[in-house]
Structure 1
């Protein structure tokens, strides 16, 4: 190619023979500075040959365990041309750091200690976030009110801590036994009715219990002599009478038309309100049966005796589930009166021991195995007189009597902490964490017994030594809108 610049035979290599201009200018080689020659030095490469052969490095590429999204240069034979201009650009963008441009330096490893500290900080922020308290929980109801809503005088009640002298019916009537007399009060009309009086030969009234929702006005009562009677509170007359003077009285509980009664000799007798005699007798205990409780579905009966043994009786099979193997027995170290079946999980049973046990055990009776223990244990070092599961949330209520001193060397720190302030109180525990969320000093003397309202929200407690009956609003129902009735109901009256 011929032009005024001369004959350029190689379009890539600008090495011309003689270039003449008008007016003449100095030789082009003399005008090129050292910097300009360095800029075009890359043109002297034979790129044709380099592009013709595949880009295979002379040495194998090193595999570096780096971040898959951050490119790490490998050691290759490709030329790396860096000029002062590229240095200025790299410096302007902060790319002269060896950690980025070094082809051989491995990526910096993130400190394990720093990583663990970040995880610990994130976890602490997650767990420290306060969760909203459910409006159904006892923390939002009893914990916020921290006081009873109704108090009744109860002079002359039985001081036996294993008696069950109080019950709450589905007709919203509270029945109370005062030694030889039985009264009930309609909580809506506040009318007090004297229902029955026993004779000296019958003994004092030890236990009472209302029938279920189908027959809410039937009240069963048992005397210390062993006699069991069923009274019709609506008609104020005796419905049926079962005489059994050979066996003393323990706890009792209804299951439809069937009434289970614990006996002093260790037996449990079953009565049907439609028949005049007992229909079955459960043999398994050797001491007085204090606690008797049917499951919600009526399939199983839990019983606890004075020696701390708990038995489960299958109603359909008419046999004890805990009698086949001695190791499968559910055991406390003290008498067991407090029993409660969960209304929202089949087979979940809570049992409480009196002195010297003072623990709550939670069992899964559907998965009992030889030598298996309770699922959860709550040590309280205080007599546990009654237990109630909430039907609206996963919480367990317990009432307590007197505490006893335990040597500090024999008490685990967690157990000692859980026993603080439980004496003569009403406590609520969450499940399955078993943490105590509410603790209210219910009475100035031991709480002997308690009963739950039909709606599952309120609880009546009784203290025979204090001669007082109190009602506490513990939970709220899902459709409960009356949140402030406690201030209106707070009053003091007498049930006699």
Structure 2
């Protein structure tokens, strides 16, 4: 699907709509069912680092390199005049974020190297409910609905995956072994395994229920 004039750094699905964000600050909505697939555009001033549709498809969150986290309403036909519902300023680029599966108004956001905190945001108020420090850049994160936990993929110095209990946000374990920043995390359909991909060129699959003790990957490949 053509359209972007620069690197596409973020994607998110909402049923038949695929939203894509570029380094030039454009978000395009693509309806994959039709040939004229571009059905909407959102504009940012800086590069789009992250995109996430909420589970119910009502809200789209976008994170940019200038530290702005923007919440948009569902409107695949959006044009240049479209206005966001809310803009929340963060101290670093917004690259890691995920909507809470069991609290629709809660968004988890990972802080960059200058911040290093896991921010649990109430998007109604735009304030952090909790913000524990990880002492590291947060490059990725996912919620673990079965165990009511959240996993964060870290950068330097340890390049590990930390698992946090909810709502206390105390460390309950982790997955260790990557030698580069953990850039991507994904949850298996049965919610029992975590997939991680790192800047060292490796990908691993971890058993969620072994996170309370130092864990080795069940499978790794490159």
Q: Considering the TM-score relative to the shorter chain, is it more than 0.5?
A: yes
Deviations 1:63-118 (A, max 9, x none): xxxxxxxxxxxxxxxxxxxxxxxxxxxxxxxxxxxxxxxxxxxxxxxxxxxxxxxx
Residue among 9, 16, 22 paired with 1:263 = 22
8 Å CA contact retained: 2:52, 2:61: yes
Residue matched to 1:52: none
Q: Could you tell me whether the CA contact under 8 Å between 1:424 and 1:447 is conserved in 2?
A: yes
Query: Root-mean-square deviation (CA), in Å?
Result: 2.3
Equivalent in the alignment of 1:249: 8
Q: Distance in 2 between matches of 1:274 and 1:380?
A: 42
Cα deviations across residues 155-188 of structure 1 (Å, max 9, x unaligned)?
xxxxxxxxxxxxxxxxxxxxxxxxxxxxxxxxxx
CA distance in 2, matches of 1:261, 1:289: 9
Which has the higher relative contact order, 1 or 2, with Cα contacts under 8 A spaced 6 or more apart? 1
Work out whether residues 139 and 181 of structure 2, in 8 Å CA contact, stay in contact via their aligned partners in 1: no
Match of 1:388 in 2: 142
The residue that corresponds to 2:37 in the other structure is 277
Change (3 A) 1:345 1:475: farther
Q: Distance in 2 between matches of 1:388 and 1:244?
A: 29
Distance in 1, Cα, partners of 2:219 & 2:168: 36
How do residues 86-485 of structure 1 correspond to structure 2 at under 5 angstroms? 242-275=1-34, 276-283=36-43, 285-315=44-74, 319-322=83-86, 329-365=87-123, 367-368=124-125, 372-403=126-157, 423-465=158-200, 467-475=201-209
In proportion to residue count, which structure has more helix? 1
Judged with a 3 Å threshold, the aligned counterparts in structure 2 of structure 1 residues 247 and 380 are, in CA distance, closer, same or farther, namely: same
Question: Cα offset for 1:298?
Answer: 0.7
SS in 2 for 1:378: coil
- For structure 1, the 5+ residue unaligned runs are 1-241, 323-328, 404-422, 477-485
TM-score (norm 2): 0.86
The normalised TM-score by structure 1 is 0.40
Q: CA deviation at 1:248?
A: 2.7
Post-superposition Cα deviations, 1:193-214, rounded to whole Å, max 9, x if no partner, equal xxxxxxxxxxxxxxxxxxxxxx
Please report how far the alpha carbon of residue 309 of structure 1 lies from its aligned counterpart in structure 2 after TM superposition. Answer: 1.1
Query: Distance in 2 between the 1:255 and 1:277 partners?
Result: 14
Alpha-carbon distance in 1 for matches of 2:93, 2:172: 26
Q: Distance in 2 between matches of 1:245 and 1:269?
A: 8
Q: Supply the distance in 2 between the matched residues of 1:382 and 1:341 (Cα, whole angstroms).
A: 21
Larger radius of gyration: 1
Q: For 1:427-451, what per-residue CA distance to the aligned partner results, in whole angstroms no more than 9, with x for missing partners? A: 1111221111113323123222222
CA contact (8 A) 1:390 1:475 kept: no
3-state SS in 1 of match to 2:132:
strand
Q: CA deviation at 1:464?
A: 2.6
CA distance in 1, matches of 2:45, 2:130: 27
Q: Secondary structure at the match of 2:113?
A: coil
Question: How far did 1:357 drift?
Answer: 2.0
The answer for unaligned runs of 5 or more in structure 2 is: none
After TM superposition, give the deviation of residue 258 of structure 1 in Å. 0.2
- CA offset at residue 312 of structure 1? 0.7
CA distance in structure 2 between the aligned counterparts of 1:297 and 1:315, rounded to whole angstroms: 10
Q: Residues of 1 paired with 2:41 and 2:181: CA distance?
A: 33
Offset from partner CA, 1:383-423 (integer Å, 9 cap, x none) = 111111112132111010114xxxxxxxxxxxxxxxxxxx2
CA contact (8 A) 2:4 2:22 kept: no
Rounded Cα–Cα distance in structure 2 between residues aligned with 1:346 and 1:457: 22
